[in-house]
Amino acid sequence: MLKRTKGSTHHLLIRKLYKPSNSHKHFVETQTAKGVEMANTTQFQPNTHNSSSDISRYLIVRPQNGGITDLFRFLVSADKASAAKFLEASDGDTFAAELLGGDDGGITPDHRWVIFVSIIVGKVLSVFGKPMEWSGCLFEFFLNFLSENGGLLGLICNLLQGKIVMARRGSETFISAIGYLDGRIDLYTSNSPVEGFSEPASGGMGLQLESGNRVLMDLCMMASKLAYENAKVVSNVMHFVDFYDCWNDNQKERSTQVFILCDKPKDANLILISFRGTEPFDADDWSTDFDYSWYEIPKLGKVHMGFLEALGLGNRANASTFQSLLQVNDTRFTSSNARTSEDSRTESEVEKIGSSDEKTLIPDMVEMTAYYAVRSKLKSLLNEHKAAKFIVTGHSLGGALAILFPTVLVLHEEREIMKRLLGVYTYGQPRVGNRQLGRYMEAHLDVPVPKYFRVVYCNDLVPRLPYDNKTFLYKHFGECLYYNSLYIEQKVDEEPNRNYFGILYLIPEYINAVWELIRSLIMGYTHGPEYKEGWLSVGLRVVGLAIPGISAHSPTNYVNSVRLGRERAISMATL
């Protein structure tokens, strides 16, 4: 980890972009006949209110309802009365008829077990939510308090001299636990310093953009880490544009964080959008990852309800809000804090959703929501920077939001914006929807070249959530860049042991956790000082001896995977 002296700013300072590498060029240029066919047959199609096939379906899992006895009856005897306490479905009696064993959307015995686990995790996290939050606040304060005073010895000296420096949450020197877990602030560059660059007339370094190259992968991973920091830390990055604390209707607070930046203040080539991921001590974030609730968007597929709520696209307390916000003819809406220049309606009109025949009002829409805030700013930036393209990225929960953002742009027929999409890069991303959703989006993200890159490291638990098997609805889509614990890259449709809890993988997981602990102690010697892991990262490896999937989720693994996931050496460059 990098050390900070008193008064210095320990943040991810991304000042320059470097030459793209050709190591992934063959992957980026791959175009299958299947993808071409899908692109020709799947178009931007509006949803209508008139067709009976467009009636939306949903399933909401409510862990807070019912007791342990009800939960046991639901699991063992498939008691409908007990199930009704935990589950809310759109089609009432029809769904209840499917409840004990049917089709996609119905609940088989195995399906009940998965929902049972989701409910148990939700109940446990609800109990430990506040203690987790308090522990996290105290732990992060302790880390920053030590750092501000120059470490343990510096703290003792300052204490003796009466010069204690207090850490201030929200300041430009207050770093998150993720920032201390991996303190690297550099990008790497390939061996040649010239290929792939252009020199703009205004000076500075221009970048010849190429989706899928290693530099963009590294930049996006660094930006995904940076999204865990506060606004003042983020504001020091490249040409910072804006930082948003957005309303999450599931958690009932401003817990969806996203920032936007450009590579240059004028005539930018690249606009980057980064969503914050699952915070280690946030029980609500973990509950969202384990949540099994879904909402079916007509003609698009089933989508994870918690992720839609995090983007501000509905509220499970009033499920009709999802339909209102996800209709194509509702895209005029923007929150009061993210008004577009084209929208001159009054505040009361902004609250109205859709056409005049719709009676539903969006609750809490005086609060800024991530999708509309980011879309509004992105439109403005694309108009300002005529040659710019944009990329979307995120780690963990942030990765789920990163892929859902362009998904809704496609749904809302934002063709001009989508033409400027360079790529979507996600790291340790959970599943966001069913196979139908995947097929729909592959048609728009794989042609003419792949734009969606889903990176998974080894035994990371989060990409295996929510649970999936041959009949369950949650499926990943797009080709996966999978890295094992030796950082050997494979391009696969699905990561091995896709549900993590496979018996055959149990022993290898723990053997691998031991190896990762040993590796963390020697990386600084075998790969150079920039790969040396600090005590916090090594401590997480120790936790991994009990729960390998948690330690594997660390951003450290993803930075190393991007940089070491090929045969030849990678030269490093400080930002």
DSSP 47-76: --SS-GGG---EEEE-TTSS-HHHHHHHHH
Which residue numbers are catalytic? 396, 460, 553
Q: Report how far residue 555's alpha carbon sits from residue 327's, in angstroms, rounded to the nearest whole number.
A: 36
Helix/strand/coil for 511:
helix
Number of Cβ atoms within 10 Å of the Cβ of 481: 24
Task: Give the torsion sign (CA, 255, 405, 365, 261).
Answer: positive
Q: Side chain identity at 159, as an amino acid letter? A: L
Task: Give the torsion sign (CA, 512, 518, 521, 526).
Answer: negative
Question: Any idea of the CA torsion for 540, 542, 548, 551, to the nearest 10 degrees?
Answer: 10
Q: Report how far residue 463's alpha carbon sits from residue 402's, in angstroms, rounded to the nearest whole number.
A: 14
CA 228 to chain centre: 11
Angle at 96 (CA atoms; ends 92, 101), nearest 5 degrees: 145
Query: In the structure encoding, which two tokens stand for residue 301, read together?
Result: 């597929």
Q: Which residues contact 110 (CB under 8 A, 6 or more apart)?
A: 469, 471, 472
Of the candidates 310, 275, 278, 314, the one whose C-alpha atom is nearest the C-alpha of residue 295 is 314
Of the candidates 126, 121, 118, 115, the one whose C-alpha atom is nearest the C-alpha of residue 75 is 115
Going by their DSSP bridges, the two strands 87-89 and 452-457 should be labelled as: unpaired
Q: What phi-psi label fits residue 367: left (phi over 0), alpha (psi between -120 and 50 degrees) or beta?
A: beta
Of the candidates 394, 406, 491, 478, the one whose C-alpha atom is nearest the C-alpha of residue 435 is 478
Q: Report how far residue 165's alpha carbon sits from residue 148's, in angstroms, rounded to the nearest whole number.
A: 6
Strand order in the sheet with 87-89: 87-89, 58-61, 294-297, 301-304
CA 365 to chain centre: 23
Of the candidates 109, 119, 180, the one whose C-alpha atom is nearest the C-alpha of residue 144 is 180
Q: Which residues contact 396 (CB under 8 A, 6 or more apart)?
A: 277, 278, 289, 427, 428, 429, 430, 462, 553
Q: Report how far residue 535's alpha carbon sits from residue 521's, in angstroms, rounded to the nearest whole number.
A: 10
Query: In the structure encoding, which two tokens stand for residue 185, read together?
Result: 């602030």
Q: Report how far residue 391's alpha carbon sits from residue 406's, in angstroms, rounded to the nearest whole number.
A: 10
- State the SS3 of 329-356: HHCCCCCCCCCCCCCCCCHHHHCECCCC
Number of Cβ atoms within 10 Å of the Cβ of 573: 14
Kindly provide the residue ranges of all beta strands, DSSP E only, lying in 388-451, ordered along the sequence.
389-395, 421-427
Query: In the structure encoding, which two tokens stand for residue 440, read together?
Result: 């729909």
